[in-house]
Each structure stands twice: as structure tokens, then as C-alpha cells.
């Protein structure tokens, strides 16, 4: 399948970015914070690399800061896919304000083909 067809199947436009990302996940010994980078973002989720591989279906908390926004965004998300340490996250229950913030930030960014 061509990347063009893949992009046409997506529900939301993805944009390239580079933001520090903190992923919090519940493990056997309690909550663990993993450091990573967000490399693409959309209204309904993001793609990123974390310091530890996660499992598809796991529910996590994502925290990242958007330039010119005073408070970091903290969103619950589910891991939709994984390839090594690269993960696709879908936001769960993002508020309209959080979605607007992400859209305002991402609109001028380059599109992911």
C-alpha cells in the first residue's frame, strides 16, 4: 500500500513535530514514568518514541508541552500500535479545549505524508 493511500484512510491529518514527551504507565510495581519524544501529532493522537517498549492496548497518560501554552497537556491514551520503541497513541476523552490547543499548534506544521 502506498503512503498516499495510507494517508487517505486516516481520520485526522497528522503533522510533524518534535516535543519532549512523558509517558506514565501502570506496571506491577506501580506507576512508571518513561521519557520520550513526540514526532507527529494529530487532533486524536500522536506518534512518539519512548525509552521502553509498550504493549498495544495499554492505557497510559501522556504529558507534553506545546510552545506558548502555559500548562503542559496531560491526556489519557491507548497504545494503538508499536514498532520497536515507536508507538502510536490514540487520545481517550480529550476535552474540546485540549483538542483546540492541539489543532491551533499543529495547523502550521508540516504534514506527514
For 53-103, the pLDDT digits (tens) are 999 999 999 999 999 999 999 999 999 999 999 999 999 999 999 999 999
Task: Give me the domain span that covers residue 13.
Answer: 3-106
Judged against a pLDDT cut of 50, whether residue 108 lies above it is answered with: yes
Per the CB < 8 A criterion, the answer to whether 99 and 73 are in contact is no
CB within 8 A of 111, min separation 6: which ones? 13, 14, 15, 16
Q: How many domains does the chain fold into? A: 1
Judged against a pLDDT cut of 80, whether residue 4 lies above it is answered with: no
pLDDT, average across residues 31-43: 97
Tell whether 8 is covered by a domain: yes
Per the CB < 8 A criterion, the answer to whether 51 and 36 are in contact is yes
- SS3 at position 57: coil
Tell whether 70 is covered by a domain: yes
Average confidence score pLDDT of the chain: 92
Q: Which CATH number does the domain housing residue 57 bear?
A: 2.40.10.220
pLDDT, average across residues 15-32: 96
Q: What is residue 11's predicted lDDT score, i.e. its pLDDT?
A: 85
- Is residue 45 classed exposed, middle or buried when 0-12, 13-18 and 19+ CB atoms within 10 A define those classes? buried
Judged against a pLDDT cut of 70, whether residue 2 lies above it is answered with: no
Residues recorded for the chain: 113
pLDDT band at 1 (very low <50, low <70, confident <90, very high): very low
Tell whether 111 is covered by a domain: no
Tell whether 112 is covered by a domain: no
Tell whether 113 is covered by a domain: no
Tell whether 26 is covered by a domain: yes
pLDDT, average across residues 10-28: 94
CB within 8 A of 101, min separation 6: which ones? 66, 69, 73
Amino acid at each position: 500500500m502506498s503512503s498516499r493511500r495510507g494517508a487517505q484512510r486516516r481520520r485526522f491529518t497528522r503533522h510533524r513535530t518534535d516535543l519532549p514527551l512523558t509517558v506514565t504507565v501502570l506496571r506491577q510495581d506501580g506507576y512508571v514514568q518513561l521519557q520520550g519524544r513526540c514526532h507527529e501529532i494529530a487532533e486524536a493522537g500522536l506518534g512518539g518514541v519512548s525509552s521502553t517498549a509498550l504493549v498495544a492496548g495499554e492505557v497510559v497518560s501522556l504529558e507534553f508541552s506545546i510552545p506558548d501554552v502555559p500548562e503542559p497537556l496531560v491526556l489519557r491514551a491507548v497504545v494503538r500500535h508499536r514498532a520497536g520503541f515507536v508507538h502510536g497513541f490514540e487520545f481517550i476523552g480529550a476535552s474540546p479545549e485540549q483538542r483546540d490547543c492541539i489543532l491551533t499548534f499543529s495547523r502550521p506544521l508540516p504534514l506527514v505524508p
